[in-house]
């Protein structure tokens, strides 16, 4: 298994501002992912964070709105840009480990509220 930490754990932000969420994994990682989860809903994949190259975004998500960095194998950031109340959600990072590439481990999530 792995320990995945996220910062911040929660935040309340004003409309039009940006928030950067950090994700750190304590094990060797192959893939890292960012998800959004609305209250009571399942997981929606935002993008796959690629180390050393641009992230791969899912349909409906764009780089200008959700820029992602992954400067090394175990660390990634997701920025939620120009926020609106519709961006209020839980943002989760996850990782596939080098030792078990057919499962994912999740961070604790970042609860974002946009006023």
Return d(Cα 83, Cα 1) in angstroms, integer: 34
In the complex, minimum distance from the CB of residue 12 to another protein, in angstroms, rounded to a whole number: 15
Which lies closer to another protein via its Cβ, residue 81 or residue 105? 105
Return d(Cα 113, Cα 30) in angstroms, integer: 31
Of 75, 2, 89, nearest in space to 37 by CA: 89
Chain centre distance of CA 64: 15
Which lies closer to another protein via its Cβ, residue 16 or residue 58? 58
In the complex, minimum distance from the CB of residue 41 to another protein, in angstroms, rounded to a whole number: 7
- Binding footprint of another protein on the chain (CB under 8 A): 1, 4, 31, 33, 40-43, 45, 92, 102-109, 111
């Amino acid at each position: 298994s792995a320990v995945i930490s996220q910062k911040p754990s929660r935040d309340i932000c004003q409309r039009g501002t940006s928030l950067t969420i950090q994700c750190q994994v304590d094990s060797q990682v192959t893939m890292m992912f960012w998800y959004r989860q609305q209250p009571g809903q399942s997981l929606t994949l935002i993008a796959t964070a690629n180390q050393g190259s641009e992230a791969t975004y899912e349909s409906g998500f764009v780089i200008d709105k959700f820029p992602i960095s992954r400067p090394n194998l175990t660390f990634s950031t997701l920025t939620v840009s120009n926020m609106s109340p519709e961006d209020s959600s839980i943002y989760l990072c996850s990782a596939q480990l080098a030792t078990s590439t057919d499962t994912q481990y999740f961070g604790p999530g970042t609860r974002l509220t946009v006023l």
